[in-house]
Chains A and B, each alone.
Chain A
């Protein structure tokens, strides 16, 4: 008797502790500012009814690294189009080119009705894309591979020309009177990122150099950028290639006592706030949501109406669009939902 009650009390101890913690939470530990409560009024994503066309399956295969905010937005766009078009979306991703090719093969084996693929390393995908063609599966490209999508026999392409985006940013820097800029690359060896910096270099009239940082470790990013600013006091503009790195660069500027301004590629919801506050000058947006959305929608249109976006000859450009103080208000609302 004694023993069993002891055992029971032991069994219940975690539950009691949990309940106590929950009670404590509700009682006194809630935050009076910020948090989910403050954001609760915003609902999620765009919705536009649903097509009654036959159910089809589309595979979206990207070179996303796990946990990257940018790719999350691409996927949301693709999902929104899939929901609207009565499409079953199969998403898979791997930053390793060989593995990405295997994922495309996997989609072919599943006999999907269409494949949307990114071409970060086009040569690695060549043979598997031939197989898709032989299997009669329409394939569209998105995001990266602007120079290669036609050579590889893809039907359409949705994305931004990274060099053109870089060139646009370079021109903008000239207008802002920049003299010396640093392009912060958060992944050494990534072709698209390097193209952006090269694009900036092409049009920018001042001097520019690249700086590599370890993108998987924010404290390291922060100290490396700080070190660069201290090493060269003449730097007046920092260019980052992803929104989270822009936010960190702002801290580096503060800490180093530099007067450098920060401009960036790509957006997220923290970034729109920083543009409003003036911490960040502007962002070059390639509209990842649009890329995902159009890729899926393009395949749907092809299947149901035989349409080719861009006539099958020209890419459909989703950027570069500038987001700065003048237009950030309109964008911020969507960014807070994680779709811009």
Chain B
């Protein structure tokens, strides 16, 4: 449990009492209870419940290929939910994350096509652009002290307009041109959008990247100084600054991490669909934030984990596809989705409350 203990920030006051608070009343709590009090355990149980439910309700889901589809959907949400969750633990959130994905894909697609360059040039420039958008968000936030809601809402609107206007200006259409016959495309596709065979089941590479990034994020959060900084700035910015945490650096880099995620998912979309429509991505930001919140991150910051959002994204993908696999009346699709998610979150909440109750 040393990992769990390290996750608790030195300078924060999380609303749910964490396992480190040993004031005499909680000393006797069992190992099991301490495990249950972790932010990701509730969502893990919620995900298991949803999973079992659909295994029963949808027979075709028991097939390995079907699970691969669920995991694919989860991974494209999950890769973005990770940096979004880290940012949220750091006390901020990003409404521009959904359209930023499309901005990145458009940048790479248009640049390569218009200049007839190797697509890798487009990929690199798109990375720079995505990181710049993140840095801009963080910089404005830190310099002005405005709430992240306002700053990133502005960016969201600007990017939405820029996506459309620039694409139209450059290509004459509102979608990018097909780049699938250009140099470097196959390599890039192999990295961002290929799939491989596991015992006769086609698994998307995004699933692997998702898990790799999740492991990386967990390590950063629990084992590095930077991870402590994230918890610290999310818990209380002023106290963090007072004990020497570089608040400005931490916040700006967190926004840049979201930019990196947007770039990665954007590249996946570009290389998996060859073209990008400029109006896409709107509304996705809420799904990323939802996956992080379902995964146990608090909207107020200072509390959460990186593995929680993995289950949050999985749950979202599971419900999304499970409804289709179950063959339910699609008119009710959104309503089913809402009910299932609320139910899962309630399980999550209940487990955490039960575990932390004395």
Contacts and interface: CB of A to CB of B under 8 A. Distances in A.
A29 B121 contact: yes
A150 interface: no
B296 to A, nearest CB: 23
Given A34-B178, A36-B115, 20 more contacts: A25-B115, A29-B117, A34-B113, A35-B115, A37-B116, A66-B278, A67-B277, A68-B174, A69-B175, A69-B277, A72-B173, A212-B333, A227-B324, A228-B324, A230-B63, A232-B327, A244-B273, A251-B272, A255-B195, A270-B178
B325 to A, nearest CB: 5
B201 to A, nearest CB: 11
Given A65-B279, A216-B280, A338-B172, A36 B72 contact: no
B54 to A, nearest CB: 11
B53 to A, nearest CB: 16
Contacts of B72: 219, 222-223
Nearest to A68: B279
Contacts of A230: 60, 63, 65-66, 69, 325
Interface string A203-244: 000000111101011111011101110111000000000001
Contacts of A305: none
Interface in A245-304: 247-248, 251, 255-257, 268, 270, 273
Nearest to A255: B202
25 contacts: A25-B121, A29-B118, A31-B119, A31-B183, A32-B183, A34-B179, A34-B180, A34-B182, A35-B113, A35-B116, A35-B117, A35-B182, A36-B113, A38-B116, A66-B278, A66-B282, A68-B279, A222-B272, A223-B69, A223-B317, A230-B66, A231-B60, A256-B65, A257-B65, A268-B175
B274 A270 contact: yes
Given A66-B279, A227-B325, A218 B269 contact: yes
B357 interface: no
Contact of A218 (B180, B273, B334): B273
Interface of A is mostly: helix
Specify which of A210, A223, A244, A338 lies most central, judged by the most chain B CB atoms within 10 Å of its CB: A223
B14 interface: no
Given A69-B277, A227-B324, A338 B173 contact: yes
B168 to A, nearest CB: 7
Nearest to A35: B116
A334 to B, nearest CB: 13
Interface residues of A, number: 51
B164 A66 contact: yes
A326 interface: no
A232 B282 CA distance: 30
A176 interface: no
B96 interface: no
Interface string B91-129: 000000000000000000000111111111100000000
Specify which of A33, A66, A244, A268 lies most central, judged by the most chain B CB atoms within 10 Å of its CB: A66
B60 A188 contact: no
A216 B102 CA distance: 10
Nearest to B183: A31
Contacts of A5: none
A224 B273 CA distance: 15
Contacts of B178: 34, 270, 273
B337 to A, nearest CB: 10
Contact of B76 (A30, A209, A219): A219
A39 interface: yes
A44 interface: yes
B69 A227 contact: yes
B196 to A, nearest CB: 13
Interface string A17-41: 0000000010001111111111100
Specify which of A69, A214, A216, A248 lies most central, judged by the most chain B CB atoms within 10 Å of its CB: A216
B348 interface: no
Interface of A: 25, 29-39, 44, 65-69, 71-72, 188, 209-212, 214, 216-220, 222-224, 226-228, 230-232, 244, 247-248, 251, 255-257, 268, 270, 273, 338
Interface string B153-172: 00000001001100110001
A215 B268 CA distance: 17
A92 to B, nearest CB: 14
Given A30-B118, A67-B167, A227-B69, A35 B273 contact: no
Nearest to A257: B65
A72 B70 CA distance: 34
Interface string B67-92: 00110110010000000000000000
Contacts of B321: 223-224, 227
Given A210-B330, A217-B284, A33 B173 contact: no
Given A32-B183, A66-B164, A219 B174 contact: no
Closest 3 CB pairs of A and B: A67-B279, A35-B116, A34-B181
B279 A216 contact: yes
A217 B75 CA distance: 13
Given A224-B324, A226-B69, A30 B115 contact: yes
Nearest to B116: A35
A256 B195 CA distance: 13
Nearest to A220: B73
Contacts of B181: 33-34, 38
Specify which of A25, A29, A211, A219 lies most central, judged by the most chain B CB atoms within 10 Å of its CB: A219
A216 B282 contact: yes
Interface string B187-230: 00000000100000010000000000000000000000000000
A271 to B, nearest CB: 11
B168 A72 contact: yes
A31 B97 CA distance: 30
Nearest to B111: A25
B280 A218 contact: yes
Contacts of B278: 66-67
B287 to A, nearest CB: 8
Interface string B254-281: 0000000000000011001111011111
A30 B327 CA distance: 48
